[in-house]
Amino acid sequence: MESEGKKFKHAKGTGKDGSVFQSVESGSTVAVLEGGSGFVSVESASVAVVAEGGSGFVSVESGSVAVVAEGGSGFVPAESGSVVVVVKSGSAFVSVESASVAVVAE
């Protein structure tokens, strides 16, 4: 097996965050912006972005994308190649599975 064919980028972006917990594994990218107490966990080449989410919890797995913007206490789990977007929803709960797309706005 050639490891050169795989790109493992561990990127942790923290902006204006006092107490952020970030966990990334196997080529994931995590960006937490202005999320005072956000919890972000990503695995297996996932992308998670928490922007202005004071206490957002985001968990993504298996090549999925999760974005929480201005969601004060949103909880978003995503699995198996799905896309989750939570925008301006103070206490929204979004769960998507199996290559589905969910968008919650306002």
Give 57-74 pLDDT, tens digit per residue: 666 666 666 776 665 556
pLDDT of 80: 63
Q: What is the mean pLDDT of residues 79-106?
A: 59
Question: Is 11 contained in some domain?
Answer: no
Q: What is the mean pLDDT of residues 31-46?
A: 59
Domain of 72 in residue numbering reads as 29-105
pLDDT of 63: 63
Rounded CA-CA distance 6/78 in Å is 23
Q: What is the mean pLDDT of residues 21-33?
A: 59
Q: How many domains does the chain have?
A: 1
Q: Which residues, in sequence order, are bridge partners of residue 54?
A: none
Question: Is 88 contained in some domain?
Answer: yes
Rounded CA-CA distance 28/4 in Å is 17
Question: Is 37 contained in some domain?
Answer: yes
Residue type, 62: S
Question: Is 17 contained in some domain?
Answer: no
DSSP tally for the chain: helices H, then strands E: 0, 10
- Sign of the torsion angle spanned by Cα atoms 89, 58, 33, 67: negative
Question: Is 14 contained in some domain?
Answer: no
Is the pTM higher than 0.75? Answer: no
Question: Is 5 contained in some domain?
Answer: no
Residue with the bigger pLDDT between 81 and 18: it is: 81
Question: Is 33 contained in some domain?
Answer: yes
